[in-house]
Amino acid sequence: MNLIDTHAHLTYPELENQIDDVLSRSRSAGVAGWISIGTDRTHNQRAVQLAQRFDSMFAAVGFHPHHANDVTDDDIAFLQQAAQAEKVVAVGETGLDYHYDNVVPANQERVFRAHLEIAARYHKPVIIHTRQAFDDSMAILAEYRDKITNIVIHCYGGDISQTKFVLDRGYYISFTGTVTFKKSDALREVAKTIPLDRLMLESDCPYISPEPVRRIQPNEPALIVHTAKCLAGLFNLDLGAFADHLAANSKRFFALP
């Protein structure tokens, strides 16, 4: 098995402090590729550096919408440079999150659009974070329809009609451990409607450990095997065959070597 964890915050200290062990447990579990996601200036720099240390690790650079109030023009210039760095395979995570009422929506939109401009200019895929902001996020993305080919909605939690919309637009969908939670029956029903060639898998570690290891903290890439098993079951596939499909999707989406 050769799964790829397409969204991991490996530069957060609880993981980076033990990165060699984290990666060796991951490889032993059959998760042998990682995309390390930056969320602010420091973590973007560290994600790029970390990816340059490990063959099968890549980086995505972006400012999480949570930080949108503080993102300056200088940060955007930095992002434009970082997007061109070696091993950087995507822009993000970026998007809109109306869960945080202290982050001004206009700031979130400004920062989101800046990410999309950079992704379009350098032909990079985009990793979208959207929470309680589906319609606004989709409206902005639609403006970039002709300029950005590969878009994934990360930590997916959409309902059936949102999912139909996302699939009609050609976007990919990435699941975290939330799809394994006992209360997530509706999300598992949604998952069954997604074509296998649009699915990806992520830990979003150090957060969101899946069932049945939900109490393990921090979450780490090795544990996406539990999420993979849950989804493989929904698709009536054995784990190996399912993992092969998802690894192929991830390689195609991020243009990995």
Question: Is the CB of 75 or the CB of 204 nearer to Zn ion?
Answer: 204
The number of residues that bind Zn ion (CB under 5 A) is: 1
Nearest distance from C-beta of residue 202 to Zn ion, angstroms: 8
Nearest distance from C-beta of residue 204 to Zn ion, angstroms: 5
Interface pattern 106-145 for Zn ion (x via CB under 5 A): ----------------------------------------
Nearest distance from C-beta of residue 8 to Zn ion, angstroms: 8
Question: Is the CB of 36 or the CB of 150 nearer to Zn ion?
Answer: 36
Sheet (strand 31-37) strand order: 3-8, 31-37, 57-61, 88-97, 126-131, 151-153, 172-175, 199-201
Question: Is the CB of 39 or the CB of 232 nearer to Zn ion?
Answer: 39
Interface pattern 187-226 for Zn ion (x via CB under 5 A): -----------------x----------------------
Question: Is the CB of 91 or the CB of 232 nearer to Zn ion?
Answer: 91
Where b means 16+ CB within 10 Å and e means fewer, 173-194 reads bbbbbbbbbeebeebbebbeeb
Nearest distance from C-beta of residue 91 to Zn ion, angstroms: 14
The conformation of residue 155, written as its DSSP 8-state character, comes to S
Question: Is the CB of 96 or the CB of 232 nearer to Zn ion?
Answer: 96
Question: Long-range contacts for 205-208 (Cβ within 8 Å, ≥24 apart)?
Answer: 205/5, 205/8, 205/9, 205/10, 205/15, 206/9, 206/12, 206/14, 206/15, 207/9, 207/176, 208/155, 208/176, 208/177, 208/178
* Residue number closest to Zn ion, CB atom: 204
Of 8, 123, 127, give the one whose Cα is nearest residue 56. 8
Catalog residues that contact Zn ion under the rule CB under 5 A. 204
